[in-house]
Amino acid sequence: SQQGEEDPQALSIQEGENATMNCSYKTSINNLQWYRQNSGRGLVHLILIRSNEREKHSGRLRVTLDTSKKSSSLLITASRAADTASYFCATRRGGSYIPTFGRGTSLIVHP
C-alpha cells in the first residue's frame, strides 16, 4: 500500500521554467526522501528531509516538509531537458527502516 502519493501524476513544462511536484502521506514519518528515475534506469536518491526540518536545498532542488499537513514539495528551478524523468517520494515511518514509495510524478521538460 502506498504511504506517499505524488501530485500531479504528469507535468509538462518548457526549459527554464520551474517544476513543482507534491507528495502527501497518511501517517507520521521520521523522514521523507525524493528519488529520480530516468527512463529505463534505476532510482537515484536526490534529497532527504527529516521530520524536524522544514526546508532543504541541494543545487537547483528545494524540498519543503509540512508535517501538520502531511505533505512535501519538490521544486526544481530553471529546469533543463535533462531533468525529464519520473520523481518519487519515499517516506519512512517510525519503527521501520524501510521506505515506502509513491507512484511518482512524470516530468517532461521541453527544450
Task: Answer yes or no: are the C-beta atoms of 102 and 45 closer than 8 Å.
Answer: no
Half-sphere exposure of 36 (CA within 13 A, CB side): 13
> How many residues touch other proteins (CB under 8 A)?
23
Which of 1, 39, 52, 68 touches other proteins (CB under 8 A)? 1
Closest to 83 in 3D by CA, of 6, 16, 32: 16
Judged by CB under 8 A, the stretch of 19-27, 29-37, 56-64, 76-84 that binds other proteins is 29-37
What is the C-alpha to C-alpha distance for residues 50 and 56, in angstroms, rounded to an integer?
10
Residue type at position 29: I
Q: Does 45 bind other proteins (CB under 8 A)?
A: yes
Q: Is the Cβ of residue 34 or residue 109 nearer to other proteins in the bound state?
A: 34
Binding site for other proteins (CB under 8 A): 1-2, 31, 33, 35, 40-45, 48, 88, 90, 92, 97-104
